Amino acid sequence: QSVLTQPPSASGTPGQRVTISCSGSSSNIGSNTVNWYQQLPGTAPKLLIYTNNQRPSGVPDRFSGSKSGTSASLAISGLQSEDEADYYCAAWDDSLNGPVFGGGTKLTVL
Amino acid sequence: QLQLQESGPGLVKPSETLSLTCTVSGGSISRSGYYWGWIRQPPGKGLEWIGTIYYSGNTYYNPSLKSRVTMSVDTSKNQFSLKLTSVTAADTAVYYCARHAPGGIAAAAAHIQHWGQGTLVTVSS
């Protein structure tokens, strides 16, 4: 059972907009920044969004992040087949004194 | 371009010690402000933070693994290492080494800028 809760799966058709949620508590998302990672099949995770809503260089602006209270969301607009991957949220947890990850969401492009 | 490469045995017997090394190229492990870490992923499952180390030697471990984990840095070789003792089948996973973002530990530990390709370690007799 992960400290941060994500839906196990999400799906959309090409061109659609999909969102993936990440629910936490006051000790993690509520008081710290959220980061998102994309893991393509058979590869290492890649930083997608940092500090709630910032995109690293090279990440398309189709990807956006937001945070409100103890929850965060990743939005992908103009869905493409290459977006099919697992997505993980992560944040520092003040109670555990370490970073925690969500269980991951498998995104399928139909 | 910073690159990280994990190395170590792919098979470890139960109750023995898992030892992995991460070799950093394209940047200095001694660069001030940066943390280095280990994250693992059991087959078909999610990510789990193992621990993080600063080049000075300060360490931060996952409380659930703390009694079995030791991390160290060798600045002369631009490497950092992980030792996990008394392994069981539950420790079978892909182990990733990583570089965190600069800053304080609370901001940096969940913000991983660079990942190694990962190495599968299987615990089996």
**A40-85 tens-digit pLDDT:** 999 999 999 999 999 999 999 999 999 999 999 999 999 999 999 9
Query: A45 to chain B: nearest residue by CA?
Result: B115
Residue B54 pairs in a beta bridge with B35
Q: Tokens 């965190």 — which residue?
A: B100
- Which pLDDT value is given to residue B33? 86
Does residue A7 register a pLDDT over 90? yes
Cα–Cα nearest to B103, from B27, B35, B3, B4: B35
Asked if the Cβ–Cβ distance from B47 to A104 is below 8 Å, we say yes
- Which pLDDT value is given to residue B29? 94
Does residue B103 register a pLDDT over 90? no
Asked if the Cβ–Cβ distance from A32 to B118 is below 8 Å, we say no
Whether the CB of B115 is below 8 Å from some CB of chain A: the reply is yes
Whether the CB of B97 is below 8 Å from some CB of chain A: the reply is no
- Which pLDDT value is given to residue A28? 97
Three-point CA angle A28, A30, A35, nearest 5°: 60
Confidence of residue B74 (pLDDT cuts 50, 70, 90): very high
The C-alpha atoms of residue A59 and residue A37 are separated, in whole angstroms, by 11
Confidence of residue B104 (pLDDT cuts 50, 70, 90): confident
Whether the CB of B106 is below 8 Å from some CB of chain A: the reply is yes
Neighbours of B99 (CB within 10 A): 23
Asked if the Cβ–Cβ distance from A45 to B106 is below 8 Å, we say no
Q: Tokens 């703390």 — which residue?
A: B66
Asked if the Cβ–Cβ distance from B116 to A44 is below 8 Å, we say yes
Average pLDDT over chain B, rounded to an integer: 95
**Which of B48, B106, B112 faces A32 most closely, judged by CB atoms?**
B106
Mean pLDDT computed over B12-17:
98
**Which of A91, A92, A101 faces B46 most closely, judged by CB atoms?**
A101
- Which pLDDT value is given to residue A66? 98
Mean pLDDT computed over A3-32:
97
For chain A, percent of residues with pLDDT exceeding 90: 98
Does residue B105 register a pLDDT over 90? no
Q: Encode pLDDT of B22-65 as tens digits.
A: 999 999 999 888 999 999 999 999 999 999 999 888 999 999 99
- Which pLDDT value is given to residue B112? 96
The C-alpha atoms of residue B123 and residue B17 are separated, in whole angstroms, by 10
Cα–Cα nearest to A73, from A10, A4, A31, A23: A23
Q: Where are the alpha helices (DSSP H) in B1-125?
A: 105-108
Q: Tell me the chain A residues in contact with residue B105 when contact means C-beta distances shorter than 8 Å.
A: 92
Query: B118 to chain A: nearest residue by CA?
Result: A44
Average pLDDT over chain A, rounded to an integer: 97
Q: Tell me the chain A residues in contact with residue B110 when contact means C-beta distances shorter than 8 Å.
A: 32-35, 90-92, 99-100
